[in-house]
Structure 1
Amino acid sequence: MGYAEALDALVEAAPPGSGVRSLLRPCAAGLVSEDTERTGVLRRRTPVAPPVTGSYVGGHPFLPDDAEWPRDPDEWPMHFVLQVAFADVPALPGFPREGLLQMFVRDDSTHGLTFDDTAGTRGLLCRWYDAAALARPVEVTSTTPVFTSDDSPLADPQHPVALEFTSIWSLPLGWENLADDVAAAPEAFAALEELLETREDLVEALEQAVAEHGRWSGVHVGGWPSFVQGAPDVPAYGSSQLLVGMAGGLFEWGDVGNAHLFGDPEALAAGDVSRLWWEWAS
């Protein structure tokens, strides 16, 4: 059974009128390139370097000739996590149709995440390049910094993994959900919670479909977050819209954890990354 069939079986098992189907959100799932090979149980690499303006995890980011490698407030170089070329992403409501989003995080034991009232707003740097910037020729002269921290890099800085995107639908299947989302459809979320508890067989079938796919990267654009611990608080200025979800063996989010980048996709399309926020947990 494939992913789409397994998801449909789960939704069909919900009582009529429960509202579970209304929770389906369009999503673009990142698949590792067909050229990608395994270098270990989880690690992968794409032998043929992806286009510098393409979508990939790890490796060396697109950097225009006048751009410096991002540094944190202490002037230490930050880790490059991934970049998403929206021209590669199937159309999603409200999301950009072109442009490049990059994500960097701080080089420390928590990957820059803080746990006070600044949580989600520190340790992160995102860059946005519009189509005009991507069209200009770039000579790759800068190199990836050598990190001195004992902490493992989030993504392999030497070997990028190229991504291809495909359209899917998703449900909120995480441990918890954002309070704003639940408040918008409390009956539907309650019905989904009961469904997940009573039809574990269908949940396992969905998880198995993902595991057996073979090219599932754990990266997805849009859709729902899947929190492995408690749901975070949305910053006062922030949007609860998920931009990018990141999980799986391409990353080192603690012990089999995952991460989420949130923000207003329409603001992103306009080049505004000032209100993006994030979380990760394991």
Structure 2
Amino acid sequence: MGKVLELPECYESLRPRIEKTLRPFIRITAEKGSTGRFDCKFGGDPYFPLDAEYPCDETGHPMKLLAQINFEQIPTLPLFPTSGILQFYLSVKDDSYGFDYGKGYEQKNFRALFFEKPIKDEDKLKKDFEFAKLSEEDEFPIFSGCEAKLTFTKDEEYMSIGDFRLEKDCGIKGNEWKPELEDFYNKCYDAALGHKIAGYPGFAQNDPRGEMEQLSGFTHLLLQIDSDDKIDCEWGDGGVGNFFITEEDLKKKDFSKVLYNYDCC
């Protein structure tokens, strides 16, 4: 086990349970910069075949690319694809960035698309995305419409304080704040945030998967994008966006039933 688990003395007896939750994940660093059509990115223009149907929201308006992950360009992760391009789109005509509380798996105003075998011939790819360009009236987490290039660092982490499974799997009651453990809780919350692929999520408020039974099966974090001044990203007031999938669908590379959550302070 490579990552040291630091625990307060009162939680030391829970160490064996907590250590079992160790998972690999990829930390993402984003910075403004141009990217190629096949590259991993936040914002910008997507890889998109000419013969594919561009995603639109429930009003028929074209959605905007939030993120593109090319699995050939990132470190490998258990269960995740090793090739193909995964994309996330959001409606820009919705003041909640396409999020629908309680129905975050219904891809009406957001969309997850997976191209398992990307076309290499650029003559067969769409080049003009002026129709999806942000206007001043549009609502989008990357509010300036900037494009961000990504770099990746593989790491490991234990189940985060905000995860809905914490008490059951680890024995820690994350919703019972103890003043003498404030520093420990704050460090745990901070560690769970940031941009990442896989691992455990961070939230500005609560984990919705613990509030609604129909969401409890979405146990694997696909992507998390945090508020980040360096790329003009702001989810409301200091919030964070997460995308989840079930283990079964991740194994099948079926991204048609993805859970999208966004919350802010």
Give me the TM-score of the superposition, normalised by structure 2: 0.79
1:169 Cα offset (Å): 1.4
Q: Report which structure shows greater RCO (CA 8 Å, sep ≥6).
A: 1
Q: 2:142 aligns to what?
A: 155
Per the TM alignment, residue 113 of structure 1 is displaced from its structure 2 partner at its CA by: 1.4
Q: Does 1:28 align with 2:26?
A: yes
Residues 72 and 133 of structure 1, relative CA distance in 2, 3 Å threshold:
same
Paired with 2:56 and 2:227, the residues of 1 have a C-alpha distance of 26
What's the offset of the Cα at 1:123?
2.0
Partner of 2:4: 8
Residue 10 (structure 1) shift? 2.6
Aligned CA distance change for structure 1 residues 159 and 149 (closer, same or farther; 3 Å): closer
> RMSD of the TM alignment (CA)?
3.3
Q: Post-superposition shift, 1:192?
A: 7.2
Structure 1 residue 110 and structure 2 residue 96: aligned?
Answer: yes
Instruction: Give the SS at the match of 1:15.
Output: helix
Question: 3-state SS of the aligned residue for 2:194?
Answer: strand
- Mark the runs of 5 or more structure 1 residues left unpaired by the alignment: 37-44, 211-216
Between the aligned partners of 1:113 and 1:183, the Cα distance in structure 2 is: 27
- Deviation, 1:218, is 2.9
Match status 1:52 vs 2:40: no
2:70 pairs with 55, 70, 85, which one? 85
The 5 Å alignment of 1:37-76 reads: 45-46=32-33, 49-76=34-61
Cα distance 1:163–1:190, how it changes in 2: closer, same or farther (>3 A)? Answer: same
Looking at structure 2, the residues matched to 194 and 54 of structure 1 have their Cα atoms a distance apart, in angstroms, of 43
- d(CA) in 2 for partners of 1:237, 1:191: 18
Q: What residue identity is the alignment partner of 1:31?
A: T
| Alignment check: 8 A CA contact 1:243 1:265 kept | no
Please name the residue that 1:42 is paired with: none
Distance in 1 between the 2:178 and 2:72 partners?
35
Give me the identity figure in percent: 21
TM-score, normalising length: structure 1: 0.74
Letter in 2 for 1:219: H
Alignment partner of 1:227 is 2:203: yes
**Structure 2 spans left out of the alignment, 5+ residues:** none
Q: Identify which of 102, 119, 137 aligns with 2:122.
A: 137
